[in-house]
Structure 1
Amino acid sequence: MWQTGGRDARAGLPPALNIIALSGFAASLSTRALDPVLPRIAAEFTVPITTAAGLAAVSAFTFAVVQPAIGALADIFGKARLMIVCLALLGLASLLGAMATSFELLFLCRILAGIGSGGVFPVALGLTGDLVEPERRQVAIGRVLGGSMTGNLLGATASGVIGDVMGWRGVLTVLGLLVIVAALAVAFGFRGKPISAGAPMDFAGLRRSYRTIFSNPNAAICFTAVLIEGTCVMGTFPYVAAFLHELGQESLAVAGLVIAGFAVGGLIYTLTVGSLLPRLGVNGMMIAGGALVGLQLAIIAFGPSWQAQAACFVAMGMGFYMLHGCIQVFASELTETARGTAMSLHSFFFFIGQTTGPIAYGFGLGHLGKVPTLLIAGATMLALGLVLARILKARPPADASVGEPRLS
């Protein structure tokens, strides 16, 4: 059963979760790093802001397409080892991007960054699933999310401040160095600890894993839901600075502060999930989360002050993770034997949504306008929470030996 008692749910979590959270923190530093400085990049390379937003889309797309392979490699070679290698790749890609002499070279570096970040957070979720039983898993995932949200918060905030002082190249240089230092720290933290690897590469076994995952009816529901989330919510981020410019607010630090509000909301979620879950239940969390996100998108549509938009992003981050955290737990129970692969597929669809999001928003902004586009996204998120509360049900893992649901 899905334990909802706050005290019991938080007790006895393994210390290794702190190292896992650190890896998520490091990878998330650069997730939103370029969003506040996109207007400067567009100006330097003389490209439209919608083209510059493609930097966010291509990073998310690369993150997504490597997920099936990343999941298989994590299950075969060991999740911790793979996280360390990918952190190093992410750091080097950021440093190379800081030296790019053309938009095309920067675009290529963001592709490499997407590959690097793709091997960290979803694998961290799979490793958390391996270490923590379902009764305590949502709180454990909340702790890992806390590391990720802190990285998002500092990445977006620091990006705006550094961008005002050192430009966008300084942003990538500083963040690249920090991620490489974090890779070394994680490697040191896992030194002397068992880093297990699975069986040799078995493509037939991989195909069986995919069949097993998709034989669980919750798979299609979870993967479709996170694709919609990625499109409607994450698609807004590359345009935040442009929205603020419309209000006459051109400070990159302010844009970074507004975007960082989302991470603050995520951190509030991690601190309150243990008490919210018993009060609202799983269905209540999903309904309230979708409604909260939808309301904030509707408010932002009408262009309030930057302070109000920052508050909206805090509330939106809280609501997003109330909904997304529930979906993650259901996704972690799709299978017992290929959890790393299942969580990577989960991230695949989420980041495909983050790829289509900037494109969809760009089309909507160009053809419908800002208000209708954001209102449609808000209504979609409201409907998503309501629909998931109705159709997403506790089911046993597809390969479970006992046919009773492990979530309730």
Structure 2
Amino acid sequence: MPQGGVAGVQPGLPPALNIIALSGFAASLSTRALDPVLPRIASEFSVSIATAAGLAAITAFTFAVVQPAIGALADLFGKARLMIVCLALLGFASLLGGMSSSFEVLFLCRILAGIGAGGVFPVALGLTADLVEPERRQVAIGRVLGGAMTGNLLGASASGVIGDVLGWRGVLLVLGLLVIVAALAVAFGFRNKPMRPGAPMDLASLRRGYRTIFSNPNALICFAAVLVEGTCVMGAFPYVAAFLHELGQESLAIAGLVIAGFAVGGLLYTLTVGRLLPRLGVNGMMIGGGALVGLQLAIIAFGPPWQAQALAFIAMGMGFYMLHGCVQVFASELSETARGTAMSLHSFFFFIGQTTGPIAYGFGLAHLGKTPTLLIAGVTMLALGLALAALLRPRPPGDAVGTAERAS
């Protein structure tokens, strides 16, 4: 993976990236939207906060389990069309969730939302990789991440404000309408672009694609890394509002503001990656990112005031995407012909981590307590950055190697 040549290339990136970033923004609006209002949901339906956190876990799990199929469908039937359909599903699922009469119905709606969200962001990454050559891809991915981080930022912060005024139902209803409008906007933006299927259904080619991906030694390293990231970092988010309640801060708007700090850090990453990458190199980005995340988890473990926690989340978001962005680029180079499938597998393992994360944190909080649980997560992230710097190496895609060998 190239480590230089990224500064100053953004003006040459394809304009279609703006449309792709818009799709990531729309899907990301609801990613963290329920986290600030989980205490209200738990109160209305008379369930524990750990049970309410299951809403985040089931959305992430559904997102994860559809990824292998989503990736194959994207490669075979066209990425843009699939993205639009999934945005519409996400929007309608959010509207239905806002009108749910029981926790079980809301749980089902979040399953549908996970299916809808599952078709957007990995497909966006695949489209980006199709449009941009490897030496400019990390900056291009940074732009797409910028759209997603803006969605995360507004989703978390706005949901806290809306939750204080309209309740958690208002959060889902407003977000559902916004996502449907975004789906229409993306469809309009792609109206003059070809959205035909990429290839006829060929199960043999799908099997070859998976074999090619896993023949690359980087595959298992990348997928294991994002599994750990999802567990240690994203798994803490559903408990942030409860942590703040322990400190006497019950405002949903404040909880949303603290969580939104993570997205602010992600936006800082997108604005600085073009300058950081040439100076630190890929290994420096991974080590620095893992260390920065680990330090912030340790700070949060000791329960400082919410203002300090908001700053910690900003720094955590910056560090997370320094590490995660490098892993994404390695994952995008696992295969040339099955890139959409590779990126969907990348998302699959990341969201499996987000599924196990709330469960792992719930277990740790119940048996170890808040401080030891967060400290363990922090040390794990530090170790992850060091391990990835030692293990990940640039390797050509397996199918590119095969093509070269046949041509020689």
Measured against the shorter chain, the TM-score band is: over 0.9
In 1, Cα distance between the equivalents of 2:392 and 2:221?
7
Partners of 1:384 and 1:260 in 2: CA distance: 24
Which letter maps to 1:74? A
AA aligned to 1:264 is: V
Aligned mates of 2:187, 2:372 — CA distance in 1: 48
User: Which residue identity lines up with residue 148 of structure 1 in the other structure?
Assistant: A
Cα shift at 1:102 = 0.5
Distance 2:85 2:118 in 1: 11
Scaled by the length of structure 2, what TM-score is found?
A: 0.98
1:395 paired residue number: 395
After TM superposition, the structure 1 = structure 2 runs for residues 212-231 of structure 1, keeping only pairs within 5 Å, are 212-231=212-231
What CA RMSD, in Å, does the superposition of the two structures yield over aligned residues?
A: 1.1
Show structure 2 runs of 5+ residues with no match. Answer: none
Q: Which residue of 2 aligns with 1:332?
A: 332
Larger mean CA deviation between 77-86 and 187-196 belongs to: 187-196
Query: What is residue 38 of structure 1 aligned with on the other side?
Result: 38
* CA positional deviation for 1:274: 0.1
The answer to whether the Cα contact below 8 Å between 1:84 and 1:187 also exists between their aligned partners in 2 is yes
Task: Give the drift of 1:4.
Answer: 1.7
Tell me how far apart the structure 1 counterparts of residues 119 and 251 of structure 2 sit (CA, whole Å). 33
Q: Among the aligned pairs, what percent are the same residue?
A: 85
Q: Is 1:238 equivalent to 2:234 in the alignment? A: no
- C-alpha distance in 1 between matches for 2:156 and 2:3: 34
Residue type of the partner of 1:128? T
Cα distance between partner residues in 1 of 2:3 and 2:385:
21
1:25-174 → structure 2 map (5 Å cutoff): 25-174=25-174
1:9 CA drift (Å): 3.4
Letter in 2 for 1:240: V
Find the aligned partners of 1:135 and 1:207 in 2 and give their Cα distance: 29
Distance 1:138 1:272 in 2: 12
2:59, 2:110 within 8 Å by CA — same for their partners in 1?
yes
CA distance in 2, matches of 1:263, 1:101: 31
Whole-angstrom CA distance in 2 between matches of 1:254 and 1:60: 24
Structure 2 distance, partners of 1:348, 1:4, is 29
Q: Is the 8 A contact 2:7 2:278 kept in 1?
A: no
TM-score, normalised to structure 1's length?
0.98
In structure 1, the partner of 2:192 is 192
Count residues with an aligned counterpart: 404
Could you tell me how far 1:6 is from its partner in structure 2?
4.0
- Tell whether the 8 Å contact from 1:396 to 1:403 is kept in structure 2 after alignment: no
Q: Distance in 2 between matches of 1:309 and 1:64?
A: 29
Instruction: Tell me what 1:285 maps to.
Output: 285
* Deviation, structure 1 residue 13: 0.3
Any idea what the Cα deviations from partners look like across 1:155-196, whole Å, max 9, x if unmatched?
A: 001100000000000000000000000000000000011224
Alignment of 1:317-328 (within 5 A): 317-328=317-328
- Separation in 1, partners of 2:324, 2:172: 29
Runs of 4+ aligned residues of structure 1 deviating over 4 Å after TM superposition are 401-404
CA distance in 1, matches of 2:42, 2:185: 35
State the 1:3 CA deviation: 5.0
Q: Is the 8 A contact 1:3 1:9 kept in 2?
A: no
Q: Distance in 1 between matches of 2:8 and 2:100?
A: 51
